[in-house]
Structure 1
Amino acid sequence: MTEQHPADDRFVLDPATGDLHGDNRRLREAGPLVPVTAEGVPAWAATQYATLLTVLTHPSLSREIRHWAARDELPPGTAIDRIVTDTSMLNAEGEDHRRLRTAVAGAFTARRLEGLRPKIEALTGRLIDRLAEMPPDQPVDMRKEFAYPLPREVISELIGIPQAHQEELHELSDAVAQVGGSLDDTPELRKALHELLGQIIDERQDTPGEDLITDLFRLRERDGGRLSTEELFATIELLFIAGHVTTVNLITNAIGALLNVPGQLDLLRSGKCPFSAAVEETLRWDSPIAYFPMRYAVRDLEIDGVHLRAGEPVLACFASAGRDPGQYGTAAHVFDLSKPPASHLSFGHGPHFCLGAPLARLEGEIALSALFAAFPDIAPAARPEDLAPLDTLLGNSYRSMPVFLGPRAR
């Protein structure tokens, strides 16, 4: 649970909280920018929609770690450490950000995504077939058996992961996505994943194909090596992890909402609402990302009446902004597909808007429509309050999503 520390008037964010949305409600009530401690790091938390929008687009807030006054005091090995020290486009600004983003934008064009659609549909169909072979009256973990393998396979295809390495890579990414297995997400595991991706990149130099790794190699040849080896590697690692873990949370959270909020699934099955509405409402109501570090004040400034000093970090509270009554009204806490589609910030905003947003939306729509068409009697096998949350500051989802599938539709 998030607690307010009496000594310094800071809220301490608990990565293992069992009540993320309750924590966020208390943070919003405390103000638009709230002093918090996250994994031992003092920061400001942007808790409300309008404030977060300002933070995401403010010209005097940068993602470049050189602007962080206390960067040398960052505890190593934490989720925050992994994010803020990333050397990909994630933490670049200006010309460097445009250069790195342009390098991968081609992988997410409408043409390439439409080319992926048949593969996503075929993979979803195979996963449905596998689910149908499981006992219909026994709990099945939809996170592990459905929400996870779909985006994992899609991003492997998009990036160009050779079949020979997929089993080992999947075992490591299982721990990162928290879908069970024998491994835990530790700094040592992240190092092993880093080394394996490096090996894959080295091997792929001699085996070009229609994939992102090949695109990046060709770009480096064309621009005379401006894309460094470190940048190339960091970009591929970012896209592999970010390109599927957050979509796992999206699909998991959507399944949970549709099964546990009365009447919502009926709106989809009757055709009154499209499955795209379920994806967007899930992104708003139960964002796949809880808190995301960091932006740094490059000068003294004021946001919503709060004074930030140069060098201070700001944490983006995506799950909190999605339930802000100031943006969505008094029913912000209600999952409701019948309302007009609401804008949300779950993919960010401005120059750092998520490149993979169209792919995540496409995967979510295909997965949900196929699942609920295949299993008309699907039902939850546990109450939401009894499900274990992810033990991470970044992700917002459950470690498992057990359901009773029931018989497959004929």
Structure 2
Amino acid sequence: MDPAGGCPHAVNARLRTRGAVAPVVLPGEVEGAVVLGHEALKDFLAHPDVAKDPRHFTALHEGRIAEGWPLRTFATVRGMTTADGADHRRLRSLVSRAFTTRRVAELRPDVEALTDRLLDGLEGAAAAGRGVADLRRHFAMPLPMGVIGELLGVDAEYRDRLHHLSSRVVATDLGPEEVLAANRELPALLGTIAAAKAAHPGDDLIGALIAAREEDGDRLAPEELIGTLVLMIVAGHETTLNLITNAVRALCAHRDQLALVRDGRAGWADVVEETLRWDAPVSYFPFRYPVRDLTVGGAVVRRGTPVLAGYSAAGRDPAAHGPDADRFDVTRSARPEAARHLSLGHGAHYCLGAPLARLEATVALERLFARFPELDIAVPEHALAPHAGFVGNSVRDLPVRLHP
């Protein structure tokens, strides 16, 4: 795996020649695997003999993973993404009430109001930039960061720094010193925020987590609190940021599909689902570990191997999505035979924030193109620099022209 990232779809085309599961070499010469096929990934994500707990990661257990390894946080952060069974259910239950369908629906007016304010700012940035503005910086990032910040109770003064640190934590192309620095500063900053919340509790998710107790009286451990906040900040905005960015890119490159939405032959929710499938915001998500030698998609994956979930590959698997799986088609989900994408996960670890991500992206796209119907990317597609690393899938910036 190239630590610098690049286009995952070109990589996936090569990997798929190896089958539904392919061996890969992770940074630091760590042997791993990636599950690429839709059905193989669906089975793997829900398999009872596949764990998230890092005690099953053989190389980590044997001391072969350095402190500055760029993927170490994915394996070692204490929270629901590295917990199994009852421990996972306990941690998930602490935040699940904030992301129910009903609670998310109640957030819609706030999401719409924030979207409109950001569109004002985007237009101002374009006016200052001779008609061009970075949609990712001025719109796609501050929208989900603003929403998750309000849910958690994180003051606006911290949000830009949290975005910077979270992007560093998920990058795979950093050196050991940079990795260690980001992984020290992010928990420290979240610890400072949590301490302030403990001293002055508020009606927000951090306050609820600090006060939370399980029915048997167990309090959320301090390292679990920080690990949960790391997850909420990173997953709560990075994926939606990529989703909005990728959807705008797709629509600008496929104006016929945008026309289908404007003509009422497809909806904005269809655009979101097709973007999730066709250009998944997370390409290769770390990690899961077989607890015994396991046959997956016809290949044997050895016990303790760190396995990546290949969401971008599964989304374009012809066996699941048909011979035109590489084509962006916003009417695809209306087909009776259409397979449901796996880009938000599957099984017990299905994305808790999926309803919120869908709401944010749908509102963002609908209002963006209603206000700027002629919006287009201001540079050729090949001039867009890919996202740093191979975990996330998007571009570093997205310069757009709001008006012809």
1:320 aligns with 2:313: yes
1:36 aligns with 2:27: no
Given residue 242 of structure 1, which amino acid in structure 2 is its aligned partner?
A
The separation in 2 between residues aligned to 1:89 and 1:174, in whole angstroms, is 20
Q: Contact 1:177–1:245 (CA<8 Å) still a contact in 2?
A: no
Counterpart of 1:123 (choices 114, 129, 134) is 114
The separation in 2 between residues aligned to 1:145 and 1:399, in whole angstroms, is 13
The separation in 2 between residues aligned to 1:168 and 1:56, in whole angstroms, is 33
Gaps of 5+ in 1: 1-12, 179-183
Q: Contact 1:264–1:337 (CA<8 Å) still a contact in 2?
A: yes
1:392 aligns with 2:389: yes
Aligned to 1:381: 378
Deviations 1:366-408 (A, max 9, x none): 000000000011111122222110121210000011111017x
Shift of 1:60: 0.8
Q: Percent identity?
A: 45
The separation in 2 between residues aligned to 1:82 and 1:221, in whole angstroms, is 26
Counterpart of 1:76 (choices 64, 67, 91) is 67
Deviations 1:263-286 (A, max 9, x none): 011111122111000000000000
Aligned to 1:144: 137
Aligned to 2:174: none
The separation in 2 between residues aligned to 1:313 and 1:83, in whole angstroms, is 11
CA 1:101–1:150: 2 relative to 1, 3 Å = same
Aligned to 2:2: 14
Aligned to 1:112: 103
Counterpart of 1:54 (choices 43, 49, 52) is 43
CA 1:366–1:177: 2 relative to 1, 3 Å = farther
The separation in 2 between residues aligned to 1:53 and 1:44, in whole angstroms, is 15
Shift of 1:66: 0.9
Deviations 1:219-270 (A, max 9, x none): 2386534321111121112111111011100000000000012301111112
Q: Contact 1:177–1:248 (CA<8 Å) still a contact in 2?
A: no
> Which stretch shifts more, 100-109 or 260-269?
260-269
Counterpart of 2:11 (choices 23, 31, 38) is 23
Q: Contact 2:167–2:238 (CA<8 Å) still a contact in 1?
A: no
> Which stretch shifts more, 148-157 or 261-270?
261-270
* Counterpart secondary structure, 2:333: coil
CA 1:166–1:309: 2 relative to 1, 3 Å = closer
Gaps of 5+ in 2: 172-176
> Which stretch shifts more, 271-280 or 40-49?
40-49
Aligned to 1:97: 88
> Which stretch shifts more, 360-369 or 286-295?
286-295
Given residue 28 of structure 1, which amino acid in structure 2 is its aligned partner?
R
Shift of 1:217: 2.1
TM-score for the superposition, normalised by structure 1: 0.90
The separation in 1 between residues aligned to 2:351 and 2:50, in whole angstroms, is 18
Aligned to 1:335: 328
Q: Contact 2:69–2:179 (CA<8 Å) still a contact in 1?
A: no
Counterpart of 2:297 (choices 279, 304, 315) is 304
CA 1:215–1:301: 2 relative to 1, 3 Å = same
Aligned to 1:181: none
Measured on the aligned residues, the alpha-carbon RMSD in Å equals 2.1
Q: Contact 1:204–1:214 (CA<8 Å) still a contact in 2?
A: yes
CA 1:174–1:98: 2 relative to 1, 3 Å = closer
CA 1:169–1:52: 2 relative to 1, 3 Å = closer
Q: Contact 1:88–1:100 (CA<8 Å) still a contact in 2?
A: yes
1:224 aligns with 2:217: yes
Q: How many residues are aligned here?
A: 390
The separation in 2 between residues aligned to 1:59 and 1:222, in whole angstroms, is 26
Aligned to 1:209: 202
